[in-house]
């Protein structure tokens, strides 16, 4: 019996949602219905029939990539070795265990569609892995995202065979030891099994799906913090007008306006602010709404990736076809990830500018500089602002599109490539940086009330403010804030998840 149990569950007969990838961070139960098992077995039998027919089948009877014109190894285990071992050349930092496990879940759903021709025991082995705290150790750098995520998925298969390294309960160790501690057996593969495991975009889909899940929370957090800032400063609320935003013609902008109005219900302007606020307040519906459009598009794309089949070739027993093609070419996710990255950077720009406004006495109506109770003796938000500036700069530098960086490789077999894997990991990095920016702004708003801004008048915002205040005491004297920033980020994620559940 594999070590590790969990109440979290997914079903291979249902669609996999991007948010469900987060369930794979811990032990996950995966249901394998009879109809799924049957279609996997039927496709596998069809592969056996075709393999004995004398027909050339890529990766089964041939070499790989540009070496397809040469015969592969006759022995199935040796062909499996060929598939995996020549890709064990990745480098860079290891992806977090939660990401590697999400990639296993994504690959499992693709293989369970019954078009890849894998052995049934491969599917059941991946299910067993997800039921434990085992995670392959996978370097981030090595995939061009063109023939799927060959190198990172090869590391997944390598670890499942007991080679290389893996994590168990968060501890890095030799993969064979990790399998043993998890109560798992080393996975045996033939050539078709191995190619089906590595020849898809499941790492890209996992990284992008996890980024999307966090981006959805960050989008709601941006709405919340913008509303809280509006209330704390006593700003006018005309910019949230339903008629105004409907006239703009963008549904997601109108939705953000509605969210702001919901948060601000019960509040009233102080009457002491300018007729028109700075754009970091007045244009929040347009900015946050547009970001929401990009998040929604990325979610749609990655949902299709998670529930599609991206390896090569594909097998269609019902029509007797073996079809060679390029479903492993991750261009949709590359474009979507790059677009998401741009939206995340602009949300970061907004949070940084909002904090800058908040610490400037000339724009807050006289709150002390840096929101310090004793300017000069204590510096309050000064260090936080410096770090937010550095963080925004890092986000901007990382937002260069990956999807246009095509470089020919692989003897010009892969003469155009999408680099979706790199784009997806950039998105995953960006959402982590945006969490810091939002946490800094939340602490700034909490401190603003401490040094003289009004307490939120809207009941829902007052409740949120009290939760933030309970997590982060006022800065009466300078102190390290790094731990409190992390706690604030976790709290904001929790609140955003509660809000998302209401909608």
Query: Which residue among 159, 177, 200 closes a domain?
Result: 200
* Total of domains in the chain: 2
Distance between CA atoms of residues 280 and 105, nearest Å: 40
Q: Same structural domain for residues 61 and 165?
A: yes
Same domain, 337 and 429: yes
- Does the reported pTM lie above 0.85? yes
Together in a domain, 22 and 91: yes
Same domain, 367 and 430: yes
Residues that are catalytic: 58
In a shared domain, residues 146 and 288: no
Which residues constitute the domain of residue 397?
A: 208-312+320-502
- In total, the chain counts a number of residues equal to 503
pLDDT in tens, 21-54: 999 999 999 999 999 999 999 999 999 898 877 7
Q: How confident is the model over 447-478, as pLDDT tens digits?
A: 999 999 999 999 999 999 999 999 999 999 99
Q: Are strands 165-168 and 134-136 parallel, antiparallel or unpaired?
A: antiparallel
| Maximum distance among all Cα pairs of the chain, rounded to whole angstroms | 84
- Asked if residue 122 and residue 220 are part of one domain, the reply reads no
Residue-wise pLDDT tens for the chain (503 aa)?
Answer: 455 545 689 999 999 999 999 999 999 999 999 999 999 999 999 998 988 777 877 777 776 666 767 676 666 666 668 788 888 999 999 999 999 999 999 999 999 999 999 999 999 999 999 999 999 999 999 888 887 898 999 999 999 999 999 999 999 999 999 999 999 999 999 888 998 999 899 999 999 999 999 999 999 999 999 999 999 999 999 999 999 999 999 999 999 999 999 999 999 999 999 999 999 999 999 999 999 999 999 999 999 999 999 998 999 999 999 998 888 889 999 999 999 999 999 999 999 999 999 999 999 989 999 999 999 999 999 999 999 999 999 999 999 998 888 778 777 767 788 878 999 999 999 999 999 999 999 999 999 999 999 999 999 999 999 999 999 999 999 999 999 999 999 999 999 999 887 76
CB 37 within 8 A of CB 118: no
Residue at 301 is within a domain: yes
Q: How far apart are CA 462 and CA 464, in angstroms?
A: 5
Domain boundary among 200, 224, 239: 200
Q: Are strands 9-11 and 29-31 parallel, antiparallel or unpaired?
A: parallel
Residue 3 located in a structural domain: no
Angle of CA points 383, 222, 452, to nearest 5°: 55
Domain's final residue, options 200, 216, 238 = 200
- 1 lies in a domain? no
Q: What are the distances in angstroms from CA 125 to CA 75, 193, 237, 307?
A: 22, 12, 56, 20
CATH number for 69 = 1.10.275.10
CATH of the domain at 299: 1.20.200.10
User: With 0-12 CB in 10 A as exposed, 13-18 as middle and 19+ as buried, what is 289?
Assistant: buried
Same domain (yes/no): 437, 492: yes
Inter-residue contact 359 to 386 (CB < 8 Å) = no
d(CA 406, CA 403): 7
Residues 6+ apart with CB under 8 A from 69: 62, 63
Asked if residue 333 lies in contact with residue 380, where contact means CB atoms within 8 angstroms, the answer is no
């Amino acid at each position: 019996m594999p070590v590790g149990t969990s109440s979290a569950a997914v079903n291979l007969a249902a669609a996999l949602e991007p948010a469900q990838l987060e369930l794979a961070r811990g032990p996950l139960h995966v249901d394998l219905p009879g109809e799924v098992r049957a279609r996997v077995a039927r496709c596998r039998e069809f592969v056996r029939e075709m393999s004995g027919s004398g027909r050339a089948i890529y990766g089964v009877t041939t070499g790989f990539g540009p070496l397809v014109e040469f015969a592969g190894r006759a022995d199935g285990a040796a062909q499996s070795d060929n598939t995996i071992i020549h890709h064990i050349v990745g480098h860079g930092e290891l992806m977090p265990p939660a990401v590697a496990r999400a990639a296993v879940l994504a690959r499992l759903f693709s293989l369970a569609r019954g078009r890849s021709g894998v052995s049934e025991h491969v599917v059941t082995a991946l299910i067993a892995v997800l039921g434990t705290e085992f995670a392959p150790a996978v370097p981030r750098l090595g995939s061009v995202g063109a023939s799927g995520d060959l190198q990172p998925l090869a590391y997944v298969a390598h670890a499942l065979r007991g080679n290389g390294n893996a994590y168990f309960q968060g501890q890095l160790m030799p993969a064979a030891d990790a399998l043993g501690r998890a109560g798992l057996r080393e996975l045996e593969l033939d050539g078709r099994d191995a190619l089906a495991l590595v020849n898809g975009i499941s790492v890209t889909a996992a990284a992008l799906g996890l980024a999307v899940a966090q981006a959805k929370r960050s989008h709601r957090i941006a709405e919340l913090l913008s509303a809280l800032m509006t209330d704390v400063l006593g700003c006018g609320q005309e910019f949230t007008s339903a008629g105004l935003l409907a006239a703009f013609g963008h549904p997601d902008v109108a939705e953000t306006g509605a969210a702001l109005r919901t948060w601000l219900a019960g509040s009233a302007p102080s009457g002491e602010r300018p007729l028109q606020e700075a754009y970091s307040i007045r244009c929040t519906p347009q900015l946050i709404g547009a970001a929401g459009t990009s998040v929604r598009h990325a979610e749609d794309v990655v949902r299709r990736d998670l529930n599609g089949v991206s390896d090569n070739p594909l097998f269609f027993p019902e029509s007797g076809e073996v079809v060679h093609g390029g479903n492993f070419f991750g261009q949709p996710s590359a474009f979507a990830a790059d677009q998401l990255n741009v939206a995340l950077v602009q949300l970061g720009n907004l949070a940084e500018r909002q904090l800058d406004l908040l610490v400037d006495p000339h724009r807050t109506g006289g709150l002390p500089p840096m929101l310090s109770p004793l300017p000069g003796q204590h510096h309050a938000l000064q260090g936080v602002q410096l770090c937010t500036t550095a963080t925004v700069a890092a986000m901007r530098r990382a937002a260069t599109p990956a999807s246009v960086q095509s470089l020919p490789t692989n003897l010009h077999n892969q003469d155009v490539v999408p680099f979706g894997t790199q784009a997806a990991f950039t998105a995953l990095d960006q959402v982590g940086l945006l969490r810091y920016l939002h946490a800094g702004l939340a602490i700034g708003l909490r401190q603003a009330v401490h040094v003289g801004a009004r307490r939120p008048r809207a009941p829902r915002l007052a409740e949120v403010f009290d939760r933030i205040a309970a997590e982060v005491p006022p800065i009466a004297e300078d102190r390290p804030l790094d731990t409190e920033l992390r706690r604030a980020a976790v709290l904001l994620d929790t609140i955003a998840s509660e809000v998302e559940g209401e909608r």
